[in-house]
Amino acid sequence: MREIELRRWHRNAAIVSVPFIVFQVGSGLFLSGARLFGFVTEGPGGVIRNLPPPMRPADMDMLMVHFSAGGPVGALYRTALAAAVLWLVFSGSWLFLKVRARSRPRR
């Protein structure tokens, strides 16, 4: 693949992936923040979720998105998102190395 085509694919994949990545990262921050600030603890009977009332509806939605939502469709969503992120990382790294090799002074 020529560099110009790789750049176009990389840019388009990033634009399409951004809303999904932002949603996944935001929901992960929500879940981590709930545990970090003590709203979620582990007790003898399992996980105890003691969230303020405004956070309760979003909590279950975030848990579903991260772990079990959508059955096969949800699994496909999470797998596709992970594949997109990996592709963006590798194609971005490859582009970076190409630019860096070009910009090095020749000896």
Summarised one tens digit per residue, pLDDT across range 63-72 is: 776 666 667 8
For residue 48, the surrounding DSSP H or E stretch is strand 46-49
pTM, to two decimals: 0.68
- pLDDT, residue 34, reads 79
Neighbours of 72 (CB within 10 A): 7
* pLDDT tens readout for residues 8-48: 999 999 999 999 899 888 878 887 887 788 877 777 777 77
- pLDDT, residue 85, reads 94
**The length of the chain, given as a count of residues:** 107
Residue 62 to residue 57: CA distance in whole angstroms: 9
- pLDDT, residue 52, reads 76
- pLDDT, residue 72, reads 80
